[in-house]
Amino acid sequence: MHLSGEFGVWIAAFLTIGITSFLYKDNPIYKFCEALFVGISAGYWFVSLYFQNLLPKLFDNLGITKMLGLGEDNGAIQNVLAGQWDERIWYVLAGILGLMMILRLFPNIGWISRWPLAVVVGSTSGLYMITYFQSNFLSQLQKTVIPLIDLGRVAALPGGSGTLDEYFAAYLGNLVLVVGTLTGLVYFYFSKEHKGAFGNAAKVGIYFLMITFGASFGYTVMSRMSLLIGRLYFLFGDWLGFVR
Amino acid sequence: MKREIPLILTAVVGLTFVVQFFIPHYPLGFMADMFSDWFSIVAACAIWLGALNLLKISLNKVYKKEKDWFFAIVTIISFLVIVIAGFFFSGGRRFQEPGTNFDWLYINVYSPLSATMFAMLAFYVASASYRAFRARNAQATILLLAAFVVMVGRTPFSDWLSNLLFMPEGWQISNLSNIIMNFFNVAGQRAIMIGISLGLISTALRIILGIERTYLGGD
Amino acid sequence: MFMPKKILLSAFFVIILPLVVWLVHGLPGQQSISYPPYDLTAISTPGDTAGSIALNWFSLDGDNQSAESFPDYRILRSGRAEGPFEEIGIVAFATPRATPNSRQYRDSAVETGNSYFYKVSCLVDGSSVESNAAGPIVPVAQTAGEKLAVIEDVILFPPTQLRAFDSPNDDGHSISIEWKISPNDVFRGAKFSGYDIHRSNVPEGPYELIGDVTGGVSDPGRGVKIFTDGNNVQDGKEYYYYVNARWDGQIAGSGVVGPVVAGQQWFHTGRGVSLILLGILIFSILFYINQAKSGKELFIRKIAGLEAVDEAVGRATEMGKKVFYVPGTQDMDNVQTIAGLTILARVAKLTAEYETRLEVPVSRSLVMVSAREVVKESYLNAGRPDYYNDDMVYYLTDDQFGYAAGVDGLVVRQKPATIFYQGAFYAESLILAETGNSIGAIQIAGTAMPAQLPFFVAACDYTLIGEELFAASAYLSREPKLLGSLKGQDIGGKLVFLSLAIIFIVMITLLQKHGISGEMIRVFEVH
Amino acid sequence: MRKIFEKLLAIDRRIIFLVIFLAVSVPIFLGIKINIKITDEVKAFYDAVSNLPSGARIMVACDFDPGSEPELQPMTESGFRYFIQNKLRFVIIGLWPQGPMQANKALAAVNEAKDEFTVENGDTLYFGTDLIVVGSDTARYGVDFINLGFQAGNELVIQRMGSSLKAAFASDLRLGRPIEDFDIMRGLNKLSDFEFIYNLSAGYPGTVEWVQFAVDRFHVPCGAGNTAVQAPQVYPYLDSGQLSGLMGGMKGAAELEKVVGHKAKATMFMVSQTAAHIFVILFIIIGNIAYFATRGETGRKGL
């Protein structure tokens, strides 16, 4: 065991333990770390958005960078003033909208932030309408349109030596996919009472959903545990140096 | 003014994206691109707003000496520290380059904090599984069984267990979990997916046509 | 009893719709032509002052490095396409290969100016396998004037079947170039280093290099390599292209294609199916919204979770405990949050009637504002405005885990009898559900976040799954716009899906043996 | 008997926390060797990548933050290592601001060069940032790989790249220079000029968006590494061929490390992972036994 000599690692270790201390009970150290986290992450976004979005996309394109003497390249404003059309001048509107968004800080004129909000909501709505239709409706429809039994796969089966997955995929796979998807949809069909055959289909559907949830529960557990492992490895490895 | 213009904006922007999908002809493509750029700039400002809002709330806390106001100070200071470091002491546009102060804060403060926050969930999952997951009925039972198969099947432990149960190679728990993931899970997810996408589409439609206005908030 | 409307509707879904869909689907692009198994090609050897002809063909199965032996390839030549062809030489198994999977032969016994046709044949277990006839080729002797390429022992064959055309379905400024790859272009072949694309405005040049691409085919289905030229292409202007293959210092150029002109299109062909189906969906949604507005009663099936709402609130009343309501952790721009608030309206109405205390901790300031309005209104409608005060709805923090921890604390301390989680949740769902469960509260959850559903399903008494959340808000609010779109989704979305799927599945299953099912599935391909 | 069960039900959660802590940490020290089975979805990813011609350009979209580092970082590293060894060039972007920095971290981790820098005709090149050395292969910033950083706007950024990369990412991350100054960007005008997309995703925006836009609209094949939380939701895309390969969580990462033949962190972590799973399952079983045994009293009307 040889402790890490890096100051940063010690800080990280302290913070890691500080957060974890909440498991025992809420305490000032946890509160401190949480407050720190909130502040740092907000600041992180603040800075990276300036340098990676506002600066290159807005200030450079418009030429504000040049006005402030921070850059040489002409922006839209310089060009337009020089009398040559530059379609980047549209970014002025983007800038104004952005400003309106920030005005929400002041309650009395906060309503103005609805304009940029409208652009945001409008774009996402327009895109969602198309993309979800294409990728989550049409493509999935296409992939549900499959023969109930896949003769190709059946033919490809290695006689006798096949694995469980191979046999299942060949004989039942498509059937499960089709039945599961369709009955699941029946369960989500609201304008008809779930009675008789329709009701039974819905029942089958809900069982498929439950298996699905089981699967994603298993995966979530997997995920959460990995994160813990990562942290512990940091503590025991990078910090305390028990493991390499 | 307060409602009309937003509604018009939403409609124009939304329709542009929809129509442009079917009609590539100028100027629709150009407009769509332009709106995309606006979007990302507005989005950036929205996140700025969030940060500034946080600052505002924290300052209020301190000013009014509310409970835990000390931690509000911590938040404010940490915010200022990383912002100043990022803007003035990390080489401007190259602020994210390995070795800068900003990068140091990211590696040694931000990463461990956010990573640990999520790592905590491991403990909650465990205690939740212990106290909350009950085979109350047929459905919950199915859920748990599927979960078991997947949890076991996705680890090397499954091979050991399968051999213990005399399951032949290729007919083991891991194979079963593959089947669950690739067929049952896919079917279920697909049904949910389609359902939700239809919901999204109709909401989007309502918003674009101005039938749905809740997002504007009442006034 | 038959209803004409029903008959029409089913007729539409079962016959007309599939037919239309089938008719409008997009068509595949042009295939590249090749002549398996040999796919013999012949060119006048580049850099040969004497003039000769080089042949290239792909080796037959079994003729590979790992094999011990393989019959000779016989090279046949003729002056005329229809023959007769006489043998002019052989390529034995031992002869070094051009590439792992192709063979070459050089015929120097030719007279420049004449034109020749070639064939390759091989005796594979008894039966002779003959190739396509390549030609006519006229051997050209390069004169000393030209820059002479060295004649390598392996000759680089150029890309062929070059096609240039205006890129379809775009707003111009782009030209697509396709070609059949050079036979020397083998996968990660050490020596083959890709293609250069050259462009000019006049056939005789000068040509400028405008891009390069790696080897290999981009569209295996059609066996072509595709390059889209987007380097300041001007619409309406004529362009000419040729493509060079680069291989170990050698360069082999295709013929020049052109002129080709870029332009923009008014409709994206291949999105016809999308347009029709989307049209139907939009139409039916709007149609039913209208119906609902005009006061027509639209049926919605019972939703288990909702039946329980009254009972859950009632239980809290009996026990004299509080009701907690969590409208998700996302902001107002999230549809689920909005749905959550609609359901809140109903719950608030009940708590008002039962005179039960309601608490709504939220994590977004905007949500707080809206939630207050919602609750206030419900209390007003229930005739109990006096029971309402703003503190029922309060803001904790925007921070995900901060919020979770906050609610945790409240729940543990105040032990509410009933907790609702309705809206969009992330990882915090688990923390919330578990704590609520641990104090034995009745929990009714609802979210459209697939990853969080399992925790709610397992840890709560009732869960609205995915779309049920939206359905519930429609069911409770009775708002025409919600009811209408729900019905619209059912008819224009799910019914379409179900009917199309079933019909095509049946057809495909039946026709599977005849191998046209693939073509049928392509109907729904997205472009 | 019932008493015991009631006690079991009332166990203090801290005890459970402790058990999990031990279950996960003890294996870290044991260093057990385990065998990992390759699933079809990871195989599919490997096939897709290994079928790319050398020199092919891959877009690596790092859409995650330190919160999911243990799952996605190993995938990122294995990916980079494989790309460099197979002469595949890659362009790094992020729809999450932290993504590109995670990518830098991964590059530094992948780099095997011992010395700090080298001088090449005048300019100093730092190993781990300008030059990445993997075995006998070297990748150079701006030539074999580049980091374009983060861009706000979620799926709209992808949409934008569909018509122009330059519009979405004006300058690179490391030097802040216009992207057209770099070799690797020559002929890369829009998304469809890439041969492949490697997406590492921890949520929104992520794989779903890449499939919906990059794959379905601009027809660039995409393989993804996902956190296990998200993986089940993208399986339908896998089945429909919209995704060419998927690594789900640490298991996926470990499988990837196996197929590319360089066992690292993920493989090592799998032991702890296994232990953790076993204990969670035990908890559920014990909990249920106790629950049913004592149902008479504590039992509550369920679903």
Question: What are the residues whose beta carbons fall under 8 Å from the beta carbon of C2, sequence distance 6 or more?
Answer: none
- Judge if D18 and D113 occupy the same domain: no
| pLDDT tens sequence across D78-121 | 999 999 999 999 999 999 989 999 999 999 999 998 888 888 88
pLDDT at D92 (0 to 100): 96
Q: What is the DSSP letter of C219?
A: B
Q: How many Å apart are CA C472 and CA C470, to the nearest integer?
A: 5
* Nearest by CB: C228 against D54, D192, D303: D192
pLDDT higher at D230 or C98: D230
Q: Once rounded to an integer, what is the mean pLDDT over residues C490-510?
A: 89
- Judge if D129 and D23 occupy the same domain: no
* Residue B22 lies in domain: 1-88
All residues of chain B having their beta carbon less than 8 Å from the beta carbon of residue D233 are 189, 193
Domain-located, residue B219? yes
Long-range own/partner contacts, residues C9-13 (CB < 8 A, 24 or more apart)? C13/C495, C13/C496, C13/C499
Domain-located, residue B96? no
- Read off φ and ψ for residue A150, nearest 5 degrees: -90, 95
Q: Does residue B145 carry a pLDDT above 70?
A: yes
| pLDDT tens sequence across C216-256 | 887 777 778 888 888 888 898 999 999 999 887 788 888 89
pLDDT at C320 (0 to 100): 93
Would an 8 Å CB–CB cutoff place B196 in contact with chain C? Answer: yes
From A137, which residue of chain D is nearest by alpha-carbon distance? D212
Q: Once rounded to an integer, what is the mean pLDDT over residues A163-169?
A: 87
- Judge if D20 and D45 occupy the same domain: no
Q: Does residue B8 carry a pLDDT above 90?
A: yes
Give the pairing of strands C225-229 and C175-180.
antiparallel
Q: Once rounded to an integer, what is the mean pLDDT over residues A146-157?
A: 83
Distance from CA of B186 to the nearest CA of C (A): 12
From A242, which residue of chain D is nearest by alpha-carbon distance? D29
Total domains in chain B come to 2
**Other CB atoms within 10 Å distance of the CB of residue B164:** 8
- Judge if D97 and D135 occupy the same domain: yes
- Judge if D223 and D130 occupy the same domain: yes
Confidence tier at D301 by pLDDT (50, 70, 90): very low
Alpha helices in B23-179 (DSSP H): 28-63, 69-88, 101-105, 111-131, 138-153, 157-164, 173-179
Average pLDDT, chain B: 89
């004529």: which residue's tokens?
Answer: C238
pLDDT at C475 (0 to 100): 87
Helix (H, G, I), strand (E, B) or coil at D186: coil
Q: How many Å apart are CA C242 and CA C209, to the nearest integer?
A: 10
Q: Which H helix or E strand runs over C405?
A: helix C400-414
Note whether C305 and C468 are within 8 A (CB): yes
Q: Would you call B134 and D276 a contact, using CB atoms and an 8 Å cutoff?
A: no
Chains that touch C (3 or more CB pairs under 8 A): A, B, D
| pLDDT tens sequence across D27-60 | 888 878 788 889 999 999 999 999 888 889 999 9
Domain-located, residue D90? yes
Q: How many Å apart are CA C169 and CA C271, to the nearest integer?
A: 10
Q: Would you call C450 and D187 a contact, using CB atoms and an 8 Å cutoff?
A: no
pLDDT at A32 (0 to 100): 92
């990916």: which residue's tokens?
Answer: D79
Confidence tier at A10 by pLDDT (50, 70, 90): very high
């790592």: which residue's tokens?
Answer: B119
Taking only residues 190 to 219 of chain B, the set having a beta carbon closer than 8 angstroms to any beta carbon of chain D reads 190, 193
pLDDT at A1 (0 to 100): 61
Among residues A12, A233, A30, D128, the alpha carbon closest in space to that of B111 is found at A12
Alpha helices in chain A (DSSP H): 7-20, 28-49, 61-62, 64-67, 76-81, 91-102, 114-131, 139-144, 151-156, 164-168, 174-187, 196-233
pTM, rounded to two decimals: 0.89
């969580």: which residue's tokens?
Answer: D249
- Judge if D284 and D203 occupy the same domain: no
* Residue D291 lies in domain: 2-30+275-298
Across C230-318, the runs of DSSP E, i.e. the strands, are 238-247, 250-253, 257-261
- Judge if B145 and B216 occupy the same domain: yes
Q: What is the DSSP letter of C480?
A: H
- Judge if D117 and D90 occupy the same domain: yes
- Judge if D107 and D141 occupy the same domain: yes
- Read off φ and ψ for residue D177, nearest 5 degrees: -95, 155
Among residues C271, C280, C285, the alpha carbon closest in space to that of C500 is found at C280
Q: How many Å apart are CA C344 and CA C422, to the nearest integer?
A: 8
Among residues B183, C18, D237, C475, the alpha carbon closest in space to that of A132 is found at D237
pLDDT at C370 (0 to 100): 85
Average pLDDT, chain C: 85
Helix (H, G, I), strand (E, B) or coil at B133: coil
State the Cα angle at D220 between D217 and D225, rounded to 5°: 110
Please tell me the number of Cα atoms within 13 Å of A121 on its side-chain side: 31
* Cα maximum dimension of chain A: 80
pLDDT at D298 (0 to 100): 44
Domain-located, residue B95? no
pLDDT at D299 (0 to 100): 43
| Structural class in CATH, domain C160-261 | mainly beta
Q: Once rounded to an integer, what is the mean pLDDT over residues C171-192?
A: 82
Question: What are the residues whose beta carbons fall under 8 Å from the beta carbon of D90, sequence distance 6 or more?
Answer: D57, D58, D59, D60, D80, D83, D144, D145, D198
Q: How many Å apart are CA D227 and CA D66, to the nearest integer?
A: 12
Among residues D53, D136, D195, the alpha carbon closest in space to that of C189 is found at D53
Q: Once rounded to an integer, what is the mean pLDDT over residues C112-127?
A: 86
Task: Flag the least confident range among A201-210, C188-197, D45-54.
Answer: C188-197
Pairs across B and C, CB distance < 8 A: 130
| pLDDT tens sequence across A212-239 | 999 999 999 999 999 999 999 999 988 9
pLDDT at D187 (0 to 100): 80
Question: What are the residues whose beta carbons fall under 8 Å from the beta carbon of C35, sequence distance 6 or more?
Answer: C131, C132
All residues of chain D having their beta carbon less than 8 Å from the beta carbon of residue C427 are 229
* Cα maximum dimension of chain C: 110
Among residues C43, C63, C60, C32, the alpha carbon closest in space to that of C120 is found at C60
- Judge if D67 and D17 occupy the same domain: no
The domains of chain A are located at 7-112, 147-239
**AA letter at B203:** T
Domain-located, residue D9? yes
Domain-located, residue B123? no
Domain-located, residue D223? yes
Q: Would you call C301 and A190 a contact, using CB atoms and an 8 Å cutoff?
A: yes
Question: What are the residues whose beta carbons fall under 8 Å from the beta carbon of D295, sequence distance 6 or more?
Answer: none
Q: How many Å apart are CA C485 and CA C285, to the nearest integer?
A: 5
Would an 8 Å CB–CB cutoff place B203 in contact with chain C? Answer: yes
Among residues D89, D15, D26, the alpha carbon closest in space to that of D55 is found at D89
Q: Once rounded to an integer, what is the mean pLDDT over residues B92-103?
A: 85
> What residues form DSSP beta bridges with D59?
D91, D197
Taking only residues 74 to 103 of chain D, the set having a beta carbon closer than 8 angstroms to any beta carbon of chain B reads 98, 100-101
Kindly state the tokens that stand for C384.
């109990």
Q: Does residue D302 carry a pLDDT above 50?
A: no
All residues of chain C having their beta carbon less than 8 Å from the beta carbon of residue B218 are 370, 373
Q: Would you call D269 and A233 a contact, using CB atoms and an 8 Å cutoff?
A: yes
- Judge if D59 and D188 occupy the same domain: yes
Burial of C237: CB neighbours in 10 Å, binned 0-12, 13-18, 19+: exposed
ipTM of model? 0.90
| pLDDT tens sequence across D118-164 | 888 888 888 888 899 998 999 999 999 999 999 888 888 999 998 88
Give the pairing of strands C418-422 and C442-447.
parallel
Domain-located, residue D252? yes
Q: Would you call D152 and A127 a contact, using CB atoms and an 8 Å cutoff?
A: no
Among residues A224, B42, A101, A147, the alpha carbon closest in space to that of C502 is found at A147
Confidence tier at C149 by pLDDT (50, 70, 90): low
Confidence tier at A242 by pLDDT (50, 70, 90): confident
Q: Does residue D300 carry a pLDDT above 50?
A: no
């209408």: which residue's tokens?
Answer: C484
Alpha helices in chain D (DSSP H): 2-9, 13-30, 40-50, 69-85, 99-110, 155-163, 165-168, 207-210, 231-239, 249-259, 265-293, 295-298
pLDDT at B66 (0 to 100): 82
- Judge if D78 and D173 occupy the same domain: yes
Q: Does residue A159 carry a pLDDT above 80?
A: no
- Judge if B63 and B142 occupy the same domain: no
Among residues B54, D172, D278, D107, the alpha carbon closest in space to that of A36 is found at B54
| Structural class in CATH, domain C41-137 | mainly beta
Domain-located, residue D101? yes
Chain B interface, best mutation among C334, C335, C407, by max B CB count within 10 A: C335
Q: Once rounded to an integer, what is the mean pLDDT over residues B69-85?
A: 93
